[in-house]
Amino acid sequence: MRSPGPAFDLRAAMVREVSGAIEALAAAEADPKAVHRCRVRMKRARALARIGQASAPGLSSVFNDSARTVMALLAHSRDAAALAEAARDAAKHAGKKSAAALRTAAAALTAHAQQPDVDVASASTGLKDLLALAQVWPEASTRQIRKGAMRLVRRARKGCKDGRGETEILQRHEWRKREKDRLYAATLVGKGWPTSRRLKLGEELGDTLGAERDAGLLLLRLKADPSLVGSAKAAQRASKALRARRKRLAANANAIGARLHLGGA
C-alpha cells in the first residue's frame, strides 16, 4: 500500500487566512471593499476549521462560534452593499420604469452601506483571539484531513439534494453555505483534496446562489419599505422584475448544482 503523502498544513493555512482578515480590516476606513475581503478570509478560515473538526472537534467548535460573532460585527455594511449590487444587476434586465426604480433603490442602499457603523475595534479584538486559536491548532494527519474534507463534501451534496427542490430563502442559503465551504476548502487544500474539486463550476454555483439570495432579500426589503424606491407603485414594478430575476437564477443554480455533483464534486 502506498504511504500517504505529507499532510496539508492546516494550522499554517488557518493562520494565513486569519492574518489576511486582520490586514484587510485594518484598511477598512480607507477602502470600502476591505470589509468584504475580511469576511471572505474569515469564511475561508471557517471552512478550514470545519476540516479541523476531525483532529480538534472542541477547538473547531469554539473557533467557528467566535468567528460567527466577529462576522456579525461586519455584516451590516456588507449586507447593504450586496443589496445595492443586486438592485443594479436586476436593473440591467428590467423594463425602463422597473429599472429606474431599482436604480433608486441601489443609490439609497449604497448610501446606507457607506455609513461608518462597523465596530472595527471589537472586530479586530475578535480576530486577534481567533489568530491565537489558529496558532495552537494541533497538527492534523493526512487521514484526518481527508476525513474532515469528506465531511464537507457530504454536507455540500446533502445541501444540494435538500436545496434544489426548495424556494425558501433560508433553505437555499443553507445550500449555498455548504457549497462555499466545500469550494473554499478544496481551493486551499489543493491536490490533496479527496474528490474532484471542480473549482470553476463550484464558484459559478456559489455566485449564482448568492445573486439569487440577494434578489430575494431585496424583495423582502422592498415589501417592508416601499419608500426605498420612492412609492408603492415603483416598489411593485421593481418587485416584479426581482421575482423574475430570482426565478431565472434559481433555475440556473439548480442546473449547475446537478452538473457539479454528478461530476463527482
The model's pLDDT over 205-252, given as tens digits with 9 standing for 90+, comes to 999 999 999 999 999 999 999 999 989 999 999 999 999 999 999 999
pLDDT of amino acid 74: 87
Name the more confident of 52 and 111. Answer: 52
Grid look-up 433553505 returns 171
For the chain, the C-alpha Rg in angstroms (whole number) is 20
Cα torsion 218, 83, 248, 226 to 10°: value is 30
- Tell me: pLDDT of 1 over 50: no
pLDDT value of residue 117: 65
Give the per-residue pLDDT at 112: 77
Distance CA 214, CA 246 (A): 9
pLDDT for res 187: 97
Per-residue pLDDT, averaged over 28-39, amounts to 85
> What span, in angstroms and rounded, lies between the C-alpha atoms of 133 and 97?
52
In the numeric block, which cell numbers belong to residue 16?
Answer: 494565513
Spatial separation of the C-alpha atoms in residues 102 and 242, rounded to whole Å: 9
Q: In this predicted structure, what is the pLDDT of residue 232?
A: 92
Confidence band of 3 (pLDDT split at 50, 70, 90): very low
Checking if the pLDDT of 66 tops 50, the result is yes
More confident residue, 57 or 112: 57
Could you tell me the pLDDT band of residue 183, with boundaries at 50, 70 and 90?
A: very high
Judged on CB neighbours under 10 Å (0-12, 13-18, 19+), 139 is: exposed
Confidence of residue 7 (pLDDT cuts 50, 70, 90): confident
Residues near 130 by Cβ (< 8 Å), separated by ≥ 6? 18, 21, 45, 63, 66, 67, 70
